[in-house]
Amino acid sequence: MLLANLINLGMNGRRTEQRCVWGLTALGPGEFSLMQYPPDLVSRAYAALGALIAGGSEIRFCLVCGIPFRPKPRQGECCGPAHQSTYRGWRRKGKV
């Protein structure tokens, strides 16, 4: 319980005492992602510490479709093999 209180207090902004704000970000048509907007760098560090303790799993956004996914070992920047192939083609053509 002490660690949870420490992290919660650390997520307050140092100068403004503003809390971390959560909001939606549009990824594409009809696709949204929950994003965190900490007021300062120290608050971001505490939020990252809390996320590591809570789950410890990495989440990436597919560079082709924008959908969040949990990468498997040795997985690229995309959610699946088809999108990884599409992304490699884009890189070769200079679209990325």
> Same domain, yes or no, for 11 and 51?
yes
**Is the pLDDT higher at 59 or at 90?**
90
Beta carbons within 10 angstroms of residue 62's beta carbon? 19
Q: Does 51 share its domain with 64?
A: no
Give per-residue pLDDT as tens, 4-61. 666 666 666 555 566 667 777 777 777 777 777 777 777 777 777 777 666 656 778 8
| Overall pTM surpassing 0.85 (yes/no) | no
Do residues 65 and 39 share a domain? no
Number of domains in the chain: 2
Q: Round to the nearest angstrom and report the end-to-end CA distance of the chain.
A: 46
Do residue 27 and residue 49 come from a single domain?
yes
Regarding whether 80 and 51 lie in a shared domain, the answer is no
Query: Distance (Å, rounded) from C-alpha 65 to C-alpha 84?
Result: 11
Containing structural domain, residue 76 = 60-96
